[in-house]
Chains A and B, each alone.
Chain A
């Protein structure tokens, strides 16, 4: 199968989570999914920050990226669930409110751009599930992860709100579980599967930072009670939050040691990649509990 996308790299993966970016590039290369570089993308301008200053101008700044993508006539491939959610939200709001779309296009017109509404927004995981499809993935699995116990962590922006660009049912999701099962690993049920890491609120100040650590504690505790070898997410922001949360909890004498991985990491292992081809040496939490089970 050959699929081709305009790569929307985002800020987190390319500057803070390059191990994850490496895993995506290697895995997609093997699966013949082509990612093209686009020069004119910038930050997705998260609504929780930029649109909080000015809702309409914020939407225009986000939509500038959508207008750029439309010029290439290929779907966008986002690496981060928050980019995916934020871009999908802008698309939904403009596609359902013609007055707002006109207003945004007035602003985009000042720089010679236009949002038409033709863009298709995808994410690493939505591409694998919806377009590459599980039956094709199966053909590439050469090292099934038979003993690995995985706690899936969906993250918010890949499916909420459903109308903005739902990958799955936000209340009873199953698609990430299905993708995990394909690798041979066991996908576990646990209480915090659809919880929030507060990645997008943790940097607003002291109160939200402390709240994010309390939430990380809930998530890690819930997964470790089920003897999970790893928590697997769809989003590099969740990875950062749950790794850094774990390090901060150690200062409070709560010593969790649960590797946090992205779905492509475990997919990569089952495709036969070595840990260094997946950037595992860059992980903040030691990955040995996963490697020792293979």
Chain B
């Protein structure tokens, strides 16, 4: 079985992260760091994860990565900050730490199969524009999602 820890260790091993030249391309490329530089700095976040992933998982800025991949695209040393941040979040969620908005959206996906809530009004509007109805995602698909997720995943997400 492959764990998140194992995958993270492959990406942040001393050897791999030792390649970091501290050039700051990641921070210079980051749209979040551009507008909130006092709050968010992916280069420093990466160093903190390297030193202590479990402790860094508790910090709120781990959830500020907007997942654009510009840092991953630009890193001259092939370090993958975006994937590293996603994997480190797994440690936070193991301890039940999921910010309210992501928790609400993931719960919606588990419950309805969509990230945006469906109601009949949507199909009424679609009909007005000559679009076919989307209806609810079939129960069979939701059951498949539940089986793949497993009880632990669902317990983590649902409060």
In the complex, which residues of chain A have a beta carbon less than 8 angstroms from the beta carbon of B4? 54-56
Contact between A49 and B148 (Cβ–Cβ < 8 Å)?
no
B17 CB-CB contact with A under 8 Å: no
Contact between A207 and B36 (Cβ–Cβ < 8 Å)?
yes
Alpha-carbon distance between A175 and B26 when the two chains are bound, in angstroms: 25
Within 8 A of A (CB), among B136-150: 137-138, 140-145, 147-150
In the complex, which residues of chain B have a beta carbon less than 8 angstroms from the beta carbon of A14? 122, 126, 134
Contact with B along A193-223 (1 / 0, CB 8 A): 0011011111111011011101100100000
In the complex, which residues of chain A have a beta carbon less than 8 angstroms from the beta carbon of B39? 207
Alpha-carbon distance between A138 and B27 when the two chains are bound, in angstroms: 42
**Which of A171, A198, A282 has the largest number of chain B CB atoms within 10 A?**
A198
Contact between B131 and A39 (Cβ–Cβ < 8 Å)?
no
Known contacts A64-B144, A110-B148, A204-B102, A15 near B116 by CB under 8 Å: yes
Chain B nearest CB from A249 CB (Å) reads 13
Nearest 8 pairs of A and B residues by beta carbon: A201-B66, A42-B113, A48-B67, A52-B89, A160-B69, A214-B35, A196-B31, A156-B68
Grouping DSSP codes into helix (H, G, I), strand (E, B) and loop, the B interface class, with mixed when no group exceeds half, is: helix
Alpha-carbon distance between A57 and B4 when the two chains are bound, in angstroms: 10
In the complex, which residues of chain B have a beta carbon less than 8 angstroms from the beta carbon of A108? 148
Known contacts A12-B116, A15-B118, A48 near B86 by CB under 8 Å: yes
Q: How many A-B residue pairs have CB under 8 A?
A: 193
Alpha-carbon distance between A171 and B150 when the two chains are bound, in angstroms: 40
Interface size on A, residues (CB 8 A): 70
Q: Can you spell out 26 A-B residue pairs with CB atoms less than 8 angstroms apart?
A: A14-B126, A14-B134, A15-B118, A18-B131, A39-B138, A41-B141, A42-B114, A43-B109, A49-B105, A50-B109, A53-B106, A53-B156, A54-B156, A64-B148, A85-B69, A100-B2, A156-B69, A170-B73, A196-B70, A203-B105, A204-B64, A204-B102, A207-B36, A210-B36, A211-B36, A215-B31
A161 CB-CB contact with B under 8 Å: yes
Contact between A103 and B2 (Cβ–Cβ < 8 Å)?
yes
**Which of A14, A25, A157 has the largest number of chain B CB atoms within 10 A?**
A14
Contact between A61 and B145 (Cβ–Cβ < 8 Å)?
yes
Chain A nearest CB from B29 CB (Å) reads 10
Contact between B129 and A279 (Cβ–Cβ < 8 Å)?
yes
A22 CB-CB contact with B under 8 Å: yes
Alpha-carbon distance between A99 and B4 when the two chains are bound, in angstroms: 13
B16 CB-CB contact with A under 8 Å: no
Chain A nearest CB from B61 CB (Å) reads 9
Contact between A205 and B99 (Cβ–Cβ < 8 Å)?
yes
Contact between B69 and A54 (Cβ–Cβ < 8 Å)?
no
Alpha-carbon distance between A12 and B100 when the two chains are bound, in angstroms: 20
In the complex, which residues of chain A have a beta carbon less than 8 angstroms from the beta carbon of B144? 40, 64, 111, 113
Contact between A48 and B116 (Cβ–Cβ < 8 Å)?
no
Chain A nearest CB from B12 CB (Å) reads 14
Contact between A111 and B147 (Cβ–Cβ < 8 Å)?
yes
Alpha-carbon distance between A100 and B34 when the two chains are bound, in angstroms: 35
Contact between B86 and A55 (Cβ–Cβ < 8 Å)?
yes
B72 CB-CB contact with A under 8 Å: yes
Contact of A37 among B64, B132, B138, B156 (CB under 8 A): B132
In the complex, which residues of chain A have a beta carbon less than 8 angstroms from the beta carbon of B126? 14, 18
Alpha-carbon distance between A45 and B144 when the two chains are bound, in angstroms: 14
